[in-house]
Amino acid sequence: MTTHPTPRPESVSQPRMVEQLVTGQPTSDGAGVQLTRVLTQALQRRLDPFLMLDAFGSDNPDDYIAGFPDHPHRGFETITYMIAGRMLHRDSAGHEGLLENGGVQWMTAGRGVIHSEIPQQEAGVMEGFQLWLNLPGRDKMCAPWYRDFAAADLPRFVTGAGVTVTLIAGSSHGVTGAVTREATLPLYLDLHLPAGASFAQSLPATHNAFIYVYRGAVSVAGQSIPTQHMAILANDAAADGVVIEATEEAKILLIAGQPLHEPITQHGPFVMNTAQEINQAINDFRTGRLGSVE
Ligand code: CO
């Protein structure tokens, strides 16, 4: 269902500053998919509850065609947002779905999912993002869950300044996104800003927040953020939000969430609290108990 909610203005009187600009690391994952790891393991604590953000984008099929064959996950959620192209996913519980232009797959791996993510095209542009969102320790072994949202299913509105806002998670301007989560209260917005437009978003001071610019350039509190850069927003106790100005036509992701303040132990596709839980995950995967349908 397409929603056409009426936005209410957000009031931000003390905007956050930029703490740090980050350029992603070119890397390859899955069966040789070329991508940029924007949020790396070194930033997991600073950007708690987010564990990873990958940006993939190429018009060369050699960079993406082999996709991500069967692989496991445990202990967190993956949110895949396709800007262009088509990706088929299949998992160990027998689910299957096709992600297309502008669609989102939200998957809660919980105690374990084995899935594949394979491009369904042999030519053209493939572009998108995968964000990893942590689960609190009490939910890491929950039953797996997923949902596909077509572009038309995502709440979307246009502000008075002409900014098109797609709400993948959380709330903005009185409109609630496709997914909400109590423990981490994630906000995940895709913003398309015309040149010169400004966008304000209130944010709790304790929430960790960042922006990723994937087209054009923006400015936050006087700091310019060029294309393909992430800006980590400072956590100032007095700040009540962020104000983003488009210095040229821009497309950006604004992501924020409530930190879990729990130990983070990652081993590849498993993210748990302790080394013992990681060993259990590895063992369960080896013995076929991870992702088995119970
Ligand atoms: Co995966």
Q: How many CA atoms lie within 13 A of 160 on its CB side?
A: 6
Q: How far is the CA of 58 from the centre of ligand 1 (A)?
A: 19
Residue 189 CA to its chain's centroid (Å): 9
The answer on pLDDT for 3 being more than 60 is no
- Cis, peptide link before residue 26, omega less than 30° from 0: no
Direct distance between the N- and C-terminal alpha carbons of the chain, in angstroms, rounded to an integer? 33
| Mean pLDDT lowest among 16-20, 89-93, 188-192 | 89-93
Q: Within 10 Å of residue 9's Cβ, how many Cβ atoms?
A: 11
The answer on pLDDT for 122 being more than 90 is no
How is residue 259 written in tokens? 């930190």
Question: What is residue 109's predicted lDDT score, i.e. its pLDDT?
Answer: 95
Q: How far is the CA of 91 from the centre of ligand 1 (A)?
A: 9
The answer on pLDDT for 94 being more than 80 is yes
Residues 6+ apart with CB under 8 A from 277: 75, 140, 265
Domain range list for the chain = 8-260
CATH annotation of 8-260? 2.60.120.10
CA distances from 280 to 104, 175, 283 (A): 30, 41, 5
Question: What is residue 1's predicted lDDT score, i.e. its pLDDT?
Answer: 47
The answer on pLDDT for 294 being more than 60 is no
Q: How far is the CA of 70 from the centre of ligand 1 (A)?
A: 8
Span 124-139, pLDDT tens digits: 899 999 999 999 999 9
Query: What is the sign of the dihedral through the CA atoms of 38, 41, 43 and 46?
Result: positive
Span 164-221, pLDDT tens digits: 999 999 999 999 998 999 999 999 999 999 999 999 999 999 999 999 999 999 999 9
- Which DSSP letter does residue 206 get? T
CA distances from 239 to 26, 30, 234 (A): 33, 40, 9
- What mean pLDDT do residues 23-43 have? 93
Task: Report how far residue 182's alpha carbon sits from residue 191's, in angstroms, rounded to the nearest whole number.
Answer: 23
Q: How far is the CA of 52 from the centre of ligand 1 (A)?
A: 12
The answer on pLDDT for 121 being more than 90 is no
pLDDT confidence tier of residue 267, bands split at 50, 70 and 90: very high
Q: How far is the CA of 80 from the centre of ligand 1 (A)?
A: 9
Q: How far is the CA of 64 from the centre of ligand 1 (A)?
A: 14
Task: Report how far residue 140's alpha carbon sits from residue 126's, in angstroms, rounded to the nearest whole number.
Answer: 31
Q: How far is the CA of 73 from the centre of ligand 1 (A)?
A: 7
DSSP string, 9-64: PP--SSBPPEEEEEE-EEEEETTTEEEEEEE-GGGTTTTTTEEEEEEEEES-GGGT
- Residue 82 falls in which region: left (phi positive, over 0), alpha (psi -120 to 50) or beta: beta
How is residue 23 written in tokens? 């350029």
The answer on pLDDT for 292 being more than 80 is no
| Mean pLDDT lowest among 118-122, 137-141, 254-258 | 118-122
Q: How far is the CA of 203 from the centre of ligand 1 (A)?
A: 29
Q: How far is the CA of 256 from the centre of ligand 1 (A)?
A: 22
